[in-house]
Structure 1
Amino acid sequence: MSSTSSPENKSDPTSTANNQSTFSCSLPVVACERDNEVSIKKSTSGVQVEQNEHAISNTRHRDENETFGDILSRTISQFHRHQLRMHSYQRQVEEWENMTRQRHHGLRNDPQYNVVVHFRKLRGHQSFALTPTQVKDFASKLQLTQQERIRFNGVHDTDSLMDYLHKIKRDYSIKIHHHTTDNYPDIESNPNQDIIQLNDNVYIEFRLREPNILPLPAVEVTRRPFFRHPDPDLSADIGQEKSASWLELFYDLVYIASLTEFTHAHVIKDYATLGTYTEWFIITWWAWFASTLYTARFNTDDMVHHIWKLIEMCAILTMASTSTHFFTSPTYVYGYIALKSVLVVEYAIVFMVAISTRSRASISLAFYVGANIFSIILWASSIAVLEEPTHRILWYTGILAETLVNVISRRDKALSWAASNIAERLGLLTLIVLGENLIGLIALVALAGSIIWVTVANWFAVIIIFGFFFMYFEDFNKNVFLHSKFHQIWVYLHFPLHLCQIAFGIELVNMLKLYRAELIDDGYLSSSTENGTTKASSEGGKLILKHIILLDALLKQSLQSTSHMLAAILSLWMTYSHAKGNRCH
């Protein structure tokens, strides 16, 4: 079948100017519109002829005499037109991407920079004299006003430079390196950053405020140094990914070992024993957190840092040796004083480095040193009144003083928690506590036998522990410190969370022990065999009923004391880590 079209249609400019595919119509003469463009098509025998942007004829048969060849050829033709349309679409996408890229570059004609002052060596040359070209470059990068340029003429060393940047309210940070080479290790992986060499020891880096994805630099394998100066200014490291070291993980295990020993020595059986356990756990948890907070921010990974951790581990074991009578033991007090003494020395070193570099963190660091010294004095004073219950007031007052320092210095960017891996350390401790619950459960399972009713109860216990794990880690976000000003509340809520998890694990094992003892007393389980024995099948209904009652008691009694606390903790956790954390994606 052939198709014809009038000359008028061929000469009509509107039909050839149409850049889009026309809509098909079934009338002999129709007007089809697309994007305010009209093309007139005529048909004399029920056949339409369309012209698309690639000048390909689109013949559509409207009679009933189509053959198989007509159908096949039309399908191939339509597939060919589809390929051409996809090619046109890809070309348009590339054009739009080029336009967007050009527009993006146009917006970056006037970039904003942050200043990072690099010291190759802490005790090195601090004075400098800038050339006119360097002064002009410095002024253009920071967009200095005329008055600020005049004040910059008095800058001649690093101390006056820090004062100048602070007075003109420009963001700056300090980085201390431990080498004397002339290269720039922080910049070689990103050549787009600009630097100004002040002298052989100090150089300035101008960092773009927008985030840049940089390739990871090659790691140079060297021997561990004996001592490194800690960096007192963490503002340049905010948001950078940090991971826990092997030493930090080993340090956490020492605390968990102490926790396990105290749990075995103090069985929680009433409110009095629960209160004693809580008082001990406050001290232990805070000792862990205070040390972890320092390590997460100022870890230098040198030999001296390892020595400090070794001393702390010995102090922890000393405290654990008096777990049965810690309230009246001078040895327990000496162990805690040793922990605080290490922190005093560590914070004092950072404080002295901050003073020498005129860092803004010096005031906050002075508070940290003072709070730990104050805590040592209170704990040392409590030795004289250990036989009196009032000595606990001195203990917890020292802990409160250290907590207040964290609250006071929360807005200091130089000591920002967002530049640490404290969120990861809290997550790891939570994981270890849940693992301890499983260890206690597995120890009980090994003695329970393989009778089906005991096995099912153990399965339910594992499901509950897995529920704790899922609720915590499902929305875990390390960037919670970047998106919430209440991040310290989120951190301190881990104390009741860990306490409730431990208490729950203890009660869970006790309930399973009680269940097994009842089965033995009723004759459903034999205590002398591994697999146990059951009574006749006629008593199966009674056994099932007892099992259901036990499971109900297991869920009610084990979770009743912790459900409200955990609900509040998990609600805040999801609020800060999930809802706020979505901004970083």
Structure 2
Amino acid sequence: ETPAFHRHAEATTAELFYDLFFVANLTTFTANLEINDSKALSAYIGFFCLLWFTWYQTSLYDVRFAADSVFERCCKALHFGVMVGFAVIGPDWKPGQAVYSYQKFKAFSYILMVSRFVLIGQYGVTLFFTWRYRRTRLPLLMVMTSYLVAAILYGALSTAFPKDSETPTTSNVYIAWYVIAVGETLLTTAVSCYWRVISFKGTHLIQRMSLLTLIILGEGIIVICKAISYIVKNEYPFDSSVTGQIVSSILIIYFLYMLYFDRLREDHFGTIKQQIWAFIHFPLHISLVLLLEGVSNFVTWRQA
């Protein structure tokens, strides 16, 4: 006997509202960080990694178990707060560089810890209401345990950063954030693949990932429009070369859109393939944001 979870055919307004926090963070961080060397590139990838996996972990819960209740709305408010925490950290995101104070990095560890504790609470409520179904106990407990371990590690890492000093120091503790984020995601995916009772069959996971892809493509349009505004504002010559670059940039985004969405058919995805397909969106999305940022920089670089 298995529980009949309520499935949403489409993304809820709460999920879409949460996506706005994701795109706001991405837009703000992209505007603040100029990618002009390898350190800036690695910093951008690292921030996007943590942002994406935090969004992904929350979405994995939402598409399967989210319901409209006071508790869920409170948890969603906490998830919004976590995204605001990303916005606070973004302007001073300098991993691997020598800095005088690691206070914001320590605070960020606690932010990641809180996000996982919120997920533990949400999965715990789901476990409470499905306790009489034995087949759901072990997989839900395993997911909760993975988040508990991740939360403890995130919190412990805050003490591993160097103390404030009068001379700048470097630290590679932040690398553990990436390892933990990938590890917990792999474990959550593996559990749902093995125990089909909490799989993503019948959910709108495919729609959630496609919507995020659309948002990232939209971010590309935003950065290209900013590049156009930069050219116009500084009164650079708007000749045929510039026009060709802008047209080419828009066509790149349009062709990417067609390549992705024209071949997207939900009926072709099995239970396991669907989860693997969703997980590999991380390298796809990081490639897209870097490509689109590079296209925008190329347009402005030609005018510098």
Partner of 2:303: 516
Q: Is the alpha carbon distance of 1:310 and 1:479 closer, same or farther for their aligned partners in structure 2, counting shifts above 3 Å?
A: farther
Point out where structure 1 has 5 or more consecutive residues left out of the alignment: 1-171, 176-230, 518-585
Partner of 1:461: 249
Q: Give the letter aligned to residue 260 of structure 2.
A: Y
Q: Is the alpha carbon distance of 1:405 and 1:448 closer, same or farther for their aligned partners in structure 2, counting shifts above 3 Å?
A: closer
Partner of 2:219: 436
Partner of 1:407: 190
Asked if structure 2 preserves the Cα contact closer than 8 Å seen for 1:315 and 1:339, the reply is yes
Q: Output the CA distance in 2 between the equivalents of 1:409 and 1:443.
A: 42
Matched, 1:391 2:158: no
- SS at 1:244's partner residue? coil
Q: 1:345 aligns with which of 121, 127, 136?
A: 121
Partner of 1:309: 76
Partner of 1:367: 142
Deviations 1:417-471 (A, max 9, x none): 1232111010000001000110111122234355443222211110011111010
Matched, 1:489 2:271: no
RMSD across aligned C-alpha pairs, in angstroms? 2.0
Q: 2:204 aligns with which of 421, 426, 434?
A: 421
**C-alpha displacement of 1:393:** 4.7
Q: Which runs of 4+ in 1 moved over 6 A?
A: none
- SS at 2:35's partner residue? coil
Q: Output the CA distance in 1 between the equivalents of 2:293 and 2:186.
A: 29
Matched, 1:381 2:156: yes
Q: Output the CA distance in 2 between the equivalents of 1:468 and 1:316.
A: 28
Q: Output the CA distance in 1 between the equivalents of 2:159 and 2:3.
A: 45
Q: 1:254 aligns with which of 12, 15, 21?
A: 21
Structure with the higher helix share, 1 or 2: 2
Q: Output the CA distance in 2 between the equivalents of 1:476 and 1:402.
A: 24
- SS at 1:385's partner residue? coil
Q: Output the CA distance in 2 between the equivalents of 1:393 and 1:461.
A: 34
Quick one: higher RCO (CA 8 Å, sep 6+), 1 or 2? 2
Q: Output the CA distance in 2 between the equivalents of 1:311 and 1:365.
A: 21
Asked if structure 2 preserves the Cα contact closer than 8 Å seen for 1:437 and 1:505, the reply is yes
Asked if structure 2 preserves the Cα contact closer than 8 Å seen for 1:417 and 1:481, the reply is no
Q: Give the letter aligned to residue 248 of structure 2.
A: F
Q: Output the CA distance in 2 between the equivalents of 1:479 and 1:345.
A: 33
Using the aligned pairs only, state the percent identity.
Answer: 24
Q: Give the letter aligned to residue 318 of structure 1.
A: G
Structure index of larger Rg: 1
Partner of 1:151: none
Matched, 1:478 2:266: yes
Q: Give the letter aligned to residue 444 of structure 1.
A: A
Q: Output the CA distance in 2 between the equivalents of 1:408 and 1:394.
A: 22
**C-alpha displacement of 1:390:** 4.4
The alignment's TM-score, normalised by the length of structure 2, stands at 0.86
- SS at 1:321's partner residue? helix
Q: Is the alpha carbon distance of 1:448 and 1:312 closer, same or farther for their aligned partners in structure 2, counting shifts above 3 Å?
A: same
Deviations 1:520-550 (A, max 9, x none): xxxxxxxxxxxxxxxxxxxxxxxxxxxxxxx
Matched, 1:336 2:103: no
- The total of aligned residue pairs comes to 282
Partner of 2:50: 283
Q: Output the CA distance in 1 between the equivalents of 2:20 and 2:57.
A: 16
**C-alpha displacement of 1:480:** 4.4
Asked if structure 2 preserves the Cα contact closer than 8 Å seen for 1:316 and 1:335, the reply is no
Q: Output the CA distance in 2 between the equivalents of 1:489 and 1:276.
A: 26
Partner of 1:295: 62
Q: Give the letter aligned to residue 177 of structure 2.
A: W
**C-alpha displacement of 1:261:** 1.7
